[in-house]
Each structure stands twice: as structure tokens, then as C-alpha cells.
């Protein structure tokens, strides 16, 4: 027979779940107290142990910390006082803490310390409540991660990047009802703790408060805001699956397709898309800037391109450039068009597709990404001086102004980006992508017309401003065609036989049709 006390102990162990495997005795508390003596913010684990029912360990941790603090005070009273003065004066704050963020905002003195104390107390209270709830729910690792993130945020003293390991540990939590959303939180955390903030967010003044505090904001979100799923949620083991398109008949049978190339019809997660677009463009910019930039090689390649165009009879760059430079209104129009629409139009098209046609959004986004990757290979393999940077040919740089071609740096523009990453022309390539997408997907004739005019005006602009050769535009068209072609090979044709709502109804009715056919 099993006595009642054993049964009650078994029931409590089953209710605790994995948390019952966590050591609950005084040795574990001793280690927590010792860690808190080295990093006082880790004292947050003492109330976590108490709230989670590990009270002997909590008492041992508190006693160990108190003993270590008294010992340090007795042996090194001057150093302890210096440490306190550093905290009060704001010297050496943690770069990932609320205290450090307030100092970066220009706050200082007693008012800043009071505000920091209030924010830290509120953050710790909210985080510990959540951590205790996850511990009782059988998610001990998530409870530890939430508490560690709170410790990172409230820690007043300086610390290294090793503190971000607490934030990285928060990827164990499950977020989102849809299967497609499950990867958003882990990806966001990994990007936030591994990449520089300048890679994640553009260099805009309005975004500076966020850009300067990305790790802190991620830690605060994990501690207080991210809605991690409880184990009792019906979506814990069975999230809502993504809706995929049916395999297209024209898909190339000999090409080994990977699962992530299946055509997903549902709208992707917006946060994940924005992160990936921003990080992808930042990586593209860094690789483009790091491409070979030998002036001699670039000018020799420019002479070769110019010679090929003379043979083909398409060396019209100087004639067009001079004509535009002599017409101020035309020069102003092309300068504005060249400088303003390169990013705006592709981003606008992606935004409209994301909202109105999510299935086509994935097709268009993938083709643009592949074309850009192929263009990077051209920048590395064929550094090319654009017409405006070719000495003795008499071109006028209408956009950037006169350049000192006798100086190796060609002025300030060289410090901004690689001036020899010109073949293929992504200025024209992206415009052509916009035109193709608009002509294929736009529902109205005037929208298709505007889409078709955009690459035509762009090719005139890049030639008129002496920023590209005509053959650069041909190269841009080639990589865009290759991008569309690769997407067609890997995921089939763009057009689907049914729309998303119709396909959902069809899939929902399919079991009934099969049952009727069986009868």
C-alpha cells in the first residue's frame, strides 16, 4: 500500500514538473549567494527561490550573500566606499542597464538615482512575478532566464557582454500561436545580442534612443512584456500551421527542393521581415563597401566598357550627360529622381504586397534578394569606374558636384561607399524589378504604366548624371532576370491556381469530399 504522505509528495512532484529536478537544498543557495556577492543584481534569484517554494535554498543564498558582504566590508572598507561613490556619480554604469540608459539620456544627480531606483523596483517586481509563474508552470529554465534578464536591466555597476547570456537564454520561451511566428522571438534575441545596434537600425536621429539601447530593451521585454506561452496552452505543442500553396505542375522535377522553398500563402510576421530586411541590407552595404576598390583596375575596366560601347554604337553617355548639364531644369529633375526613388519605390511596393498580396510578397521579396546577392558577386569580380570618375573623358557629376580626379580619394564620396561597385547597376536593377512586379501584379492599367515608366526614367537618370554606363544597366537587368528565374526554379511559377481564401475553403472541404467519394 502507498501511504497518503507519499501520495501527496508524488502529486506535488508531478505538479512541479521539471522544476522538481532543480536542486532545492542549501548547497544551491550557497552558490546563488556567492554569485550575488560578485554581482549584487543576482540577488533577484533569492526571491525567485522563495516564491518557487525553494525556501531553504533562498535562506542559504541570503545568508551567504550577507556573510560575504560583511567580510568584504571588514577587509576592504575603502574599496567598498569607492564603489558606492562610483555608482552615485555615474562612473562605470552597466551599458545594458536602466541606470546606464538614463545617464545616456543626460540625466544625473539625485533625481536620476531616484528615477532609476523606482524603475528598477517596478521592473524587478514584474519580472519576479512572471518568473515565479513560469517556475510553477514547469518551465524552470525560462524562469531563470526572465530573472537573469531583470538582473541585467537593474544592475547599476558596469559589466561585460557576458551579461547578455541571460538575454540569450530567454530564447527557450515559446511565443506565438502560429508556427510561422515561433522563430520571431529567437531570431530577434540572437540578432540583438550578437550584432551592433547600427546594423539593426538605420542611422536616424529619431531612432537613436532605441538604437543605443537595443540589448537593454530586449532584456526588459523578456523580463516584463513578451507573452511566453504556458505549458497548458493548446498551442504549446500544436501551433497553427502555415498554409502552403499546392505544388505547381511546371516545377522542375530534377531540382532538389528544400522545405523552406515551399510557397507559403499566409502573411509573414512583420517584425521578422523588418529585421531580416534591415540586417540583409546592412550586410549588403558592408560587403559592397569591402569589395575591391583599386583605382587602376577600376579605370581599366571603365576603359574596356567604354570601348565595347563604341564598337556597339551605344556610347551615348557623354552626349546625354552634357545635354542634361546644359539644361538646369532637366538636370534638377534627374538629380532628384536619382537620389530619391532608389529605396522609396521598392520599399513601397514591398509594403503594398505584404498588406494586400502576402503570397506574391514572398515571391517578389525572394527574387529581389537573390538579384542583390548576385550583384555583390559582380562588385567583387569586376570593379568598375563610373563615367563621372573617368579622367579625361569630360563627364559632369551632376549629383555630387565636381570631383578632384587628381586625388586618389575623389573627394568625400569615397569615404561613404565603394565608388567602384557599379557593375551591375542595382540602381537600374531594383527599378526594373519594381517595373516587372507592377506590370505583373498591379490591378489597374495606370498603375502598370507607372511601373513600366519607373525603370525607363531610372536608366535615363543613371546615364544623364554620369553615374553608370549603359552596359551597367544591362548587367542590372541580367541579375534581376536571374533572380526571377531562380525563384521560378526553386518554388515554381508565381501564379497559383486558387487564391488564399479559396484554397482554405478547398482544403477544409476536402475531407468531406473524400468521405462522399468513399460512400
Q: 191-246: per-residue pLDDT in tens?
A: 888 888 877 777 777 888 888 888 899 999 999 999 999 999 999 888 888 776 66
CB 162 within 8 A of CB 215: no
Measured between alpha carbons, how far is residue 301 from residues 296, 385, 478 in Å?
9, 7, 19
Contact 349, 438 (CB under 8 A): yes
In the chain, % of residues over pLDDT 70: 77
Q: CA dihedral defined by 339, 343, 344, 350, rounded to 10 degrees?
A: 160
CB 231 within 8 A of CB 139: yes
Segment 34-54, tens digit of pLDDT: 887 777 788 888 888 888 888
Provide the 3-class DSSP secondary structure of residue 340.
helix
Predicted local confidence at residue 27, as pLDDT = 73
* Cα–Cα dist 495/24, whole Å: 60
Q: Is the pLDDT of residue 260 over 50?
A: yes
Q: How many whole angstroms separate alpha carbon 492 and alpha carbon 476?
A: 23
> Contact 489/367 with Cβ under 8 angstroms?
no
Considering the chain, what is the average pLDDT of its residues? 79
Nearest Cα neighbor of 302 from 376, 375, 395 is: 395
Q: Locate cell 556567492: which residue?
A: 34
Interatomic CA distance for residues 322 and 319, integer angstroms = 5
Is residue 158 scored above 80 in pLDDT? no
CB 386 within 8 A of CB 302: yes
How large is the angle between the packed helices 55-75 and 77-89, nearest 10 degrees?
100
What is residue 239's DSSP assignment? P
Query: Is the model's pLDDT at 331 over the cut of 60?
Result: yes
Euclidean distance between the first and the last CA atom of the chain, given in angstroms as a whole number: 54
- Predicted confidence at residue 343, as pLDDT, reads 86
Taking only the tens place, the pLDDT of each residue in 484-518 is 988 887 777 776 544 444 444 444 444 444 344 44
Partners of 157 in the β-ladder: 93
Residue 161 is classified by DSSP as G
Q: Is the pLDDT of residue 435 over 90?
A: yes
Three-state DSSP class for 474?
Answer: helix
Q: How far is Cα 46 from Cα 147, in angstroms, rounded to an integer?
A: 10
Amino acid at each position: 500500500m502507498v501511504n497518503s504522505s507519499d501520495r501527496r509528495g508524488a502529486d506535488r512532484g508531478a505538479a512541479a514538473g521539471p522544476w522538481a529536478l532543480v536542486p532545492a537544498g542549501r548547497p544551491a543557495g550557497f552558490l546563488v549567494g556567492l554569485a550575488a556577492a560578485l554581482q549584487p543584481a543576482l540577488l533577484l534569484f533569492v526571491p525567485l527561490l522563495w516564491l518557487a517554494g525553494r525556501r531553504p535554498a533562498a535562506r542559504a543564498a541570503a545568508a551567504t550573500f550577507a556573510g560575504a558582504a560583511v567580510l568584504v566590508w571588514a577587509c576592504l572598507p575603502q574599496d567598498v566606499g569607492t564603489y558606492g561613490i562610483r555608482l552615485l556619480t555615474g562612473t562605470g554604469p552597466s551599458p545594458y542597464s536602466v541606470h546606464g540608459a538614463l545617464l545616456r539620456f543626460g540625466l544625473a544627480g539625485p533625481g536620476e538615482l531616484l528615477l532609476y531606483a523606482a524603475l528598477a523596483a517596478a521592473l524587478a517586481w514584474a519580472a519576479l512575478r512572471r518568473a515565479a509563474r513560469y517556475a510553477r508552470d514547469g518551465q524552470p529554465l525560462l524562469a531563470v532566464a526572465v530573472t537573469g534578464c531583470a538582473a541585467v536591466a537593474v544592475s547599476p555597476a558596469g559589466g561585460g557582454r557576458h551579461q547578455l547570456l541571460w538575454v540569450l537564454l530567454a530564447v527557450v520561451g515559446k511565443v506565438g500561436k502560429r508556427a510561422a511566428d515561433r522563430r520571431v522571438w529567437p531570431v530577434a534575441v540572437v540578432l540583438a545580442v550578437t550584432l551592433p545596434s547600427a546594423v539593426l537600425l538605420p542611422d536616424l536621429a529619431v531612432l537613436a534612443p532605441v538604437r543605443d539601447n537595443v540589448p537593454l530593451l530586449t532584456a526588459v521585454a523578456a523580463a516584463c512584456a513578451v507573452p511566453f506561452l504556458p505549458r497548458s496552452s493548446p498551442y504549446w505543442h500544436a501551433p497553427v500551421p502555415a498554409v502552403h500553396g499546392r505544388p505547381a505542375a511546371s516545377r522542375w522535377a530534377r531540382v532538389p527542393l528544400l522545405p523552406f522553398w515551399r510557397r507559403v500563402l499566409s502573411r509573414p510576421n512583420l517584425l521578422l521581415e523588418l529585421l531580416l530586411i534591415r540586417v540583409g541590407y546592412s550586410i549588403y552595404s558592408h560587403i559592397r563597401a569591402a569589395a575591391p576598390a583599386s583605382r587602376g583596375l577600376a579605370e581599366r575596366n571603365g576603359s574596356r566598357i567604354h570601348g565595347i560601347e563604341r564598337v556597339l554604337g551605344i556610347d551615348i553617355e557623354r552626349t546625354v550627360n552634357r545635354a542634361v548639364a546644359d539644361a538646369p531644369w532637366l538636370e534638377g529633375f534627374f538629380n532628384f529622381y536619382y537620389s530619391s526613388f532608389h529605396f522609396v519605390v521598392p520599399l513601397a511596393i514591398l509594403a503594398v504586397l505584404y498588406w494586400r498580396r502576402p503570397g506574391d510578397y514572398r515571391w517578389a521579396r525572394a527574387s529581389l534578394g537573390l538579384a542583390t546577392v548576385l550583384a555583390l558577386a559582380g562588385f567583387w569580380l569586376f570593379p568598375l569606374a563610373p563615367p563621372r570618375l573617368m579622367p579625361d573623358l569630360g563627364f559632369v557629376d551632376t549629383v555630387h558636384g565636381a570631383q578632384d580626379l587628381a586625388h586618389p580619394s575623389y573627394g568625400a564620396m569615397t569615404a561613404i561607399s565603394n565608388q567602384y561597385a557599379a557593375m551591375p547597376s542595382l540602381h537600374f536593377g531594383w527599378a526594373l524589378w519594381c517595373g516587372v512586379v507592377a506590370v505583373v501584379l498591379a490591378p489597374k492599367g495606370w498603375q502598370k504604366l507607372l511601373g513600366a515608366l519607373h525603370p525607363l526614367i531610372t536608366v535615363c537618370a543613371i546615364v544623364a548624371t554620369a553615374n553608370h554606363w549603359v552596359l551597367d544597366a544591362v548587367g542590372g537587368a541580367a541579375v534581376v532576370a536571374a533572380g526571377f528565374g531562380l525563384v521560378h526554379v526553386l518554388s515554381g511559377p508565381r501564379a497559383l491556381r486558387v487564391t488564399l481564401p479559396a484554397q482554405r475553403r478547398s482544403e477544409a472541404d476536402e475531407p468531406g469530399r473524400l468521405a462522399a467519394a468513399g460512400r
